[in-house]
Amino acid sequence: MYKLTHIYKSFAEKQVLSDINLTLHSEVVALIGENGAGKTTLLKILLGEVEPDDGNVQKIGAVGYVPQHPNFGKTIADCFDTTIEQWRIDIALEDVGLEKPMSFLTAKLSGGQKTRLSIAMVLAVNDQPDVLLLDEPTNNLDAEALKWLKSFVKGFRGAVVIVSHDRTFINDTATKILELNKGKLSIYPGDYDAYRDQKDLEAVQAMTTYEAGLEERKRLQKVIVRKRSDSDHTHKHIKRSDNDKAQRDYFKNRVTRGLGQQVRALQTRLDQLDDLEKPDVAKSYRVTLAGKSHDSKLLIKFEDVVMDFLERKKLPNLEVQGHDRVRVRGVNGSGKSTLLRLAAGKLQADRGDVIIGLNISVGYLSQDTDGLDTHLTALENLERTEAHTTDIYREARSLGLKSDELKKKPSELSRGQQTKLSFAKLLLARHDLLILDEPTNHLDIPTRESIERALQNYQGAVLLASHDEYFAQSVGITKEIELR
């Protein structure tokens, strides 16, 4: 069991975690939140690497941590401390199903095999950690590796905490969602879809409450004005009595005092509504993708294309037309990125033809964001699109790019921010076809959902490769191409 009670943590006077309460049992939970929300800090507190400023940490048993970028040795044997007995290593490798000799070079392992090895490195230290922390475990995993990881996580006997932006993986494994937002931790039972439904309901309720507050504020303001007017009217028009001035003054003061008390009470209620804040959902910026609709017009066509360096030298024939949403699938190394680079004109086929339709504008987003000019600032990169300044700032903000980040060069931004910048360039251009190679890599869930909404409204065609099943289905795939 692991229990956090009233945990607080600040860095440089910035409150990162505030009054965190969490109890972990034998369950699978997903920790989600925007980049920079404090997920890494919470993980480090769970690991014991960071001490909270206040609060209590209670744990029984061991905690294992599988980082997003493990430090591997040259060979599998080099990945394990020399103090660990060989039989423990053998059992750990068997538990994760990694059937490779100890002398095998880690550089030759696939993404899925590296994930298995990173978990084995944790299992070898402790036969079975009571709590297993997985930081972005699905990055760069193909379908087969994801299937194994899901099975492993669901079969784990202790508690598993997953930090992931992969909503399909969360749906398939988690029974509880932990959301970090503005330093606060909210707990939602169920999978990601259940969490999303609850958040949508909360957003509707928050907006209803906000709008009701606005109406109440208007009503109170009108009532106060009327009450004050009534008080003035009463003060001026109480009839004079020639022989009873004392009675007249008593009645006038009593009425005036009563109306004044009512006004003060109403003003107190009105003051309580002064801090009425518009819900965050209402502050979001709409993401838009300019694009054209060509109906059935041919945009791109592959005919007998051959690339000699690929194991499967010949690529499948394909056509992309006006409204098509085509997804390229296949295991890592099958040639998905090569196909997309050919379609974008970044590579030339050794044999065969890649035919581009007449007067077609193509936008391309690579995995390594190589479409950015590293000599220019982020803002200057966006200005190259010749979009209006207002549109540039609106689209940048919609993707979470702040004004100070727009002043930096791409090399000074994180990988996630570089991807956002590359996507912002697509948002500001008018392309007939978007070619997207793993477009959600390094993006948090809110940004992924923002891009999904943009693509749902986009009128052009899309050709993409993505391991993110949730993202692919959200953008409305109409055709799939399988590379084997």
Please report the pLDDT score of residue 295 as a whole number: 66
Residue 365: which of 298, 441, 301, 292 has the closest Cα?
A: 441
* Residue 293 covered by a domain: no
- Count Cα atoms within 13 angstroms, Cβ side, for 425: 28
Give the three-state DSSP class for 59.
strand
176 and 211 inside one domain: no
Instruction: Of 428, 479, 423, give the one whose Cα is nearest residue 452.
Output: 423
Residues 272 and 322 reside in one and the same domain: no
Same domain, residue pair 220 and 268: yes
Phi first, then psi, for residue 319 (nearest 5°) are -130, 140
Contact 450, 399 (CB under 8 A): yes
> How many CA atoms within 13 Å lie on the side-chain side of 447?
25
Q: Residue 292 has which token pair?
A: 């054209």
Model confidence over 60-76: pLDDT tens digits?
888 999 998 899 999 99
290 within domain boundaries: no
If you ran DSSP here, which 8-state letter would residue 194 be given?
H
Query: What is the pLDDT at residue 232?
Result: 63
- DSSP state for residue 70 in the 8-state scheme: -
Of the candidates 346, 468, 343, 366, the residue with the CA atom closest to the CA atom of residue 426: 366
| Burial grade of 404 (CB within 10 A; 0-12, 13-18, 19 or more) | exposed
Look at residues 364, 370, 314 and name the one whose alpha carbon lies nearest to residue 340. Answer: 364
- The pLDDT value recorded for residue 260 is 66
Which residue, of 258, 283, 308, is where some domain finishes?
Answer: 283
β-partners of residue 426 are: none
- 97 phi-psi bin (left φ>0, alpha ψ -120 to 50, beta other): left
Residue pointed to by tokens 């910035």: 14
Range of the domain at 259: 199-283
Clarify whether residues 274 and 172 are in a common domain.
no
- 70 and 161 co-located in one domain: yes
Q: 6 lies in a domain?
A: yes
Length of the chain: 484
Closest CA to 135 of 244, 15, 32, 59: 32
Comparing CA positions, the residue from 69, 67, 70, 129 lying closest to residue 95 is 129
User: What are 442-472's pLDDT values in tens digits?
Assistant: 788 988 888 888 888 888 899 999 988 999 9
Same-domain status, 116 and 256: no
User: How many domains would you assign to the chain?
Assistant: 3
Question: Do 363 and 456 fall into the same domain?
Answer: yes
Domain boundary among the residues 131, 155, 190 is at 190
The helix-helix angle for 415-428 and 389-398 (nearest 10°) equals: 140
Low-confidence ranges of the chain (pLDDT < 70): 126-127, 230-260, 280-295, 369-370
Residue 416 sits in the same domain as residue 313: yes
Tell me, what's the pLDDT at 267? Answer: 78
- Residues 181, 183, 185, 191: what is their CA dihedral angle, to the nearest 10 degrees? 30
pLDDT at 242 (0 to 100): 46
161 touches 172 (CB < 8 A): no
Residues 238 and 327 in one domain: no
Which SS3 state, helix, strand or coil, does residue 426 take? helix
CB atoms within 10 A of CB 346: 15
User: Contact, 394 vs 289, CB < 8 A?
Assistant: no
Separation of alpha carbons 150 and 158, rounded Å: 15
Rg (CA), the chain: 30
In this predicted structure, what is the pLDDT of residue 282?
43
Q: Are residues 179 and 205 in the same domain?
A: no
- At which of 164, 190, 216 does a domain end? 190
178 and 40, same domain (yes or no): yes
Helical H runs in 238-327?
245-272
Q: Whose CA is closest to 421, among 399, 394, 388, 403?
A: 399
Q: Which of 234, 227, 235 has its CA nearest to residue 270?
A: 227
